[in-house]
Structure 1
Amino acid sequence: MDFTWQGDYFETDLEYGTLRISGNEENGFRPFQLMVSSIAVCSTSVLRQILEKQRMTVSDIQAHADVTRDESRANRISSIALHYKIKGEGLSEKKVEKAVALAQKNCAMAQTVIGAVNLTETFEISED
């Protein structure tokens, strides 16, 4: 990946399109937003795949991320609390709980930050 300074932001061209990154969200995506997005979407995608492999029907899945940053340490991300809203049929609380734990172990982005960021996950289930 190559990043080019464009005055108020950096830019990179990827297969899907051009990505603008800036410390100022008026000019592009902020780096911490991209990191949190990567972790949330990776975890949720892996979770959906696991649920489907376990023959649970998922009609909708959403993730909400609460982020805590530590101003005393360069405003780094200190914790991310992911909350999944899962809608479908045949969703067992016990199986979903195991799937959430398995998803974290198999999400490359989550595994990249484990040990540096406190990552917690909760979920709620609703039937179609």
Structure 2
Amino acid sequence: MTNHISTKWTGKMAFESNNPSGLDLTIDAGPEDGGEGNGYRPKALMLSSLAGCSGLDVVSLIDKMKLKVDKFHIEIFAELTDEHPKYYHKVHLEYHFYGKELDEKKLQKAVDLSVDKYCGVMEMFRRFAEVSAENIYHSG
């Protein structure tokens, strides 16, 4: 299967990129790099893609396992190399679960399945970065 996107320059440091979903997004550099800061930064967008990919897996598994979770979010901390071309060489994901009846064992299994088996973006990141993950549970 081949995905195709089209990305066009819209002036200064900004680009508009389409997506197979039919939605467009703007990519722009910050003022420190000659842009206006009116769009997503390319490297940070990769982290959003990673969180979205894994998050979709986890939410799907929460539903299939019939788990009770009130809120869920993912925090990512990524470290860039010092030398150009700069890339993420260390990436740490925190999966935060909130609820009064969290089944920590099953939630760990859901995250493990995403991290180790289902998330293709995670697998791509593993090709260039040291990736780690942890679950953090918030009761009440």
TM-score band w.r.t. shorter chain: 0.7 to 0.9
Which digits, 9 at most, give the CA deviation of each residue in 1:37-94, with x for residues without a partner? 0001211221121122112112210111111000224110112111111123542222
Aligned-partner SS, 2:75: strand
1:3 maps to amino acid: T
Unaligned 5+ segments in structure 1 are none
SS at match of 1:72: coil
Q: Give the equivalent residue in structure 2 for 1:99.
A: 110
Higher strand fraction: Structure 1 or Structure 2? 1
What is the aligned counterpart of 1:110 among 101, 118, 122?
122
Q: Work out the CA distance in 1 between the residues paired with 2:88 and 2:106.
A: 30
Aligned partners of 2:98, 2:38: CA distance in 1, in Å?
A: 35
Map of 1:10 onto structure 2? 15
Match of 2:138 in 1: 126
What secondary structure is seen at the aligned counterpart in 1 of 2:134?
strand
Q: C-alpha distance in 2, partners of 1:127/1:55?
A: 18
Q: How many residues align?
A: 128
Cα distance in 2 between the residues matched to 1:95 and 1:68 = 30
Name the CA shift for 1:12/1:115 in 2 (closer, same or farther; >3 Å).
Answer: closer
Bigger shift: residues 66-75 or 33-42: 66-75
Match of 1:21 in 2: 27
Q: 1:89/1:49 Cα in 2 relative to 1: closer, same or farther (>3 Å)?
A: farther
Identify the range of structure 1 (89-98 vs 53-62) with the bigger mean alpha-carbon deviation.
89-98
Q: 1:75 aligns with which of 86, 90, 93?
A: 86
1:66 and 2:77 equivalent?
yes
| Counterpart Cα distance in 1 of 2:104 and 2:17 | 42
Q: Percent identity?
A: 26
Question: Structure with the greater relative contact order (CA < 8 A, sep ≥ 6): 1 or 2?
Answer: 1
